[in-house]
Amino acid sequence: MSSTTVKSASRAALPPEIQLLILELLSSDGCSLAQFATVSRQWQTIIERRNFERINLTLWRIPDFGHMTRRNRALVKYIWLSLELSEYDCFTCGARNMNRNGNLLPNRCGADECIIVTAMRDLFLTLSAWEPQGDLKLDISIHSPSDSQHWFKYLTFGPDTLPHSQVTPSQRVDPEHGWNAGILSSAPTELALRNVFAEVLGRPGAIFFNKELECEWWQTLPEVPAVTSMLLRLQNRRRWRPSTLTYMLSRLPRLEEFHYEPWRAWSKGGQNVTDLAYCSLIDSLTSRTLKKLVLFENFDEQYSSCFAHCDDMRAPNFWVGQAVAKASLELEHLSASFIIDAGHFLDAVKSEWNWSHLSSLTLTSQLLNPQENPDRINNMLEAAASTALKMPKLKTLEIWNGRVGLAALLRYQLEGIGRTVLSWKATWKFALQPHVIKAWEAVAHANHSHLLVQEFLDETISVNSHADAINYLELFKVLRPISLQQILAAHEMRREGPLAERRWRHTT
């Protein structure tokens, strides 16, 4: 008997749970498991499931993707398409004065658009051949390697998993870009911010110089019924136009989940145009098979100070709130943070509306702040209870707010048979009025449940960003966990040093 046969027989003699532990240890050690697939048929099955469950794709790997997964398509549950755009230098980022107010180089722009168009075409052509087999999540990211090499050294890019790699201190010594002794002591240029927040496929002179041409191009792509979930995470600082997303999503006829984490626009005019386009995008979702919609419009209160005509916090648009309210009628789960205001959502509700499927609803409201009239807050929370009566399957409703210096949350939670909790948690004093509690008692009674009211106050907690508020309020489903980690990491790096925040705001 050969030594290989003896070793294989020895492994086969091990209990299955021990073999699994061995594989776990090998995997956690960063070891490639492919070489162990020949040990046994059981190991091959386990290793193939691990190797094919999550696929990372680049532009250059797409042509081989179909052949690579032909035998194991049913094992693929998650595809991360990571597109790297062209690198750029300090003239483009605005660190050198001769180009602080200049434009991006046209040839680089054209090359970047070719990368995106080619990748989307090749990916959709490849995936169109896949038969629907359970859930398949498509995660798309676009960035330039240079983004984290100039002003934004705290940016990280990776798949939708935790933990995530962090920036080392040695990378944070770059006085030309404001990094001194590991501390960001000066703000990035407006050009640097506009560069990383540029539109995808939306620049003047681009391949799609008008929406009609772009719409025609998307319609040439085949439908992809295998994809059931789409992720566009906030590490995509480059902005997809909502109209582009409308065309893209139209090619995914079985989409059940959409996680969309755009950044706010950095001017009032730009935000008005974006909000108008949001309405069309959200309206396009109402006739879909969508069950879960998670919207999280990210922002950075420090970035806004770098732009000449930008408010610290943008004002939500009523019509976007109305569009989201209408789209929610057929959903099972909705979370919409900062992109709309809960007050607008509630004001848009019509008397004949009913949410026959909705089990969870999470919204933000700028009314939840210590400077607001308490009566207005209580009236809004009472209106939320009236709307909740139209949601017979509702188990959780949350209305919250968070930014530098404040966090607040009203949560209605059905915790089991006969028990429902209405809780108020905040960093400032506020009292729920009796008429509000009575309104929520009616909701609990409709669910054959008793209402327990709880209030939590912590005026000492430090809230340095909306991410801190999310942690404090335990709202871990309003955005992807890796996205929350990225916000926290960026703010932590910029807070290092006692004067970092103040310097940041006064050096533009």
Supply the pLDDT for residue 36.
59
Supply the pLDDT for residue 101.
45
Asked if 56 and 179 sit in the same domain, the reply is: no
Mind listing the pLDDT tens digit for each residue in 299-349?
988 888 788 778 888 999 999 999 999 999 999 999 999 999 999 999 999
Most confident of 5-9, 408-412, 496-500: 408-412
Name the average pLDDT for the chain.
85
Q: What are 44-48's contacts with CB under 8 Å, separation 24+?
A: 46/20, 47/23, 48/72, 48/75
In the chain, the percentage of residues whose pLDDT exceeds 70 is: 80
Residue where a domain stops, chosen among 74, 91, 124:
74
Asked if 159 and 36 sit in the same domain, the reply is: no
Look at 27 and 482; give whichever has higher pLDDT: 482
Domain annotation covers residue 320 = no
Supply the pLDDT for residue 2.
44
Mind listing the pLDDT tens digit for each residue in 20-37?
676 666 655 555 656 555
Mind listing the pLDDT tens digit for each residue in 135-162?
999 999 999 988 888 888 888 889 998 8
Mind listing the pLDDT tens digit for each residue in 338-386?
999 999 999 999 999 999 999 999 999 999 999 999 999 999 999 999 9
Asked if 84 and 100 sit in the same domain, the reply is: yes
Asked if 66 and 103 sit in the same domain, the reply is: no
With 50 as the cut, is the pLDDT of residue 499 above it? no
What element of type H or E holds 296?
strand 292-296
- The model carries a pTM of 0.88
Mean pLDDT within 412-416: 92
Look at 307 and 400; give whichever has higher pLDDT: 400
User: CA-CA distance, 395 to 139, in Å (whole number)?
Assistant: 29
Asked if 69 and 85 sit in the same domain, the reply is: no
Band (163; pLDDT cuts 50, 70, 90):
confident
Phi, psi of 329 (to 5 degrees): -60, -30
Domain annotation covers residue 140 = yes
Asked if 223 and 358 sit in the same domain, the reply is: no
Asked if 125 and 268 sit in the same domain, the reply is: yes
Asked if 68 and 119 sit in the same domain, the reply is: no
Supply the pLDDT for residue 354.
97
Domain annotation covers residue 81 = yes
Cβ-based burial of 28 (10 A; exposed 0-12, middle 13-18, buried ≥19): exposed
SS3 398: strand
Supply the pLDDT for residue 100.
44
SS3 505: helix
Domain annotation covers residue 325 = no
- Amino acid 49 reads R
Least confident of 61-75, 384-398, 487-501: 487-501
Supply the pLDDT for residue 177.
73
Domain annotation covers residue 435 = yes
Question: Terminal CA-to-CA distance of the chain, rounded, Å?
Answer: 76
Mean pLDDT within 180-202: 79
- Over the range 263-286, which residues count as b (16 or more CB within 10 Å of their CB) and which as e? bbbbbeebbeebbebbbebbebbe
Cβ-based burial of 431 (10 A; exposed 0-12, middle 13-18, buried ≥19): exposed
Domain encompassing residue 452: 343-462
Asked if 238 and 120 sit in the same domain, the reply is: yes
Asked if 45 and 163 sit in the same domain, the reply is: no
Residues 6+ apart with CB under 8 A from 290: 255, 256, 257, 258, 327, 330, 331
Residue where a domain stops, chosen among 53, 74, 95:
74
Domain annotation covers residue 25 = yes
Asked if 287 and 398 sit in the same domain, the reply is: no
Asked if 404 and 425 sit in the same domain, the reply is: yes
Domain annotation covers residue 334 = no
Domain annotation covers residue 467 = no
- Over the range 305-337, which residues count as b (16 or more CB within 10 Å of their CB) and which as e? ebbeebeeebebbbebbbbbbbbbbbbbbbbbb
Tokens representing residue 79 in the block: 């595809």
Number of domains in the chain: 3
- Assess contact for 332 and 293: CB atoms under 8 A: no
Residue where a domain stops, chosen among 22, 52, 74:
74
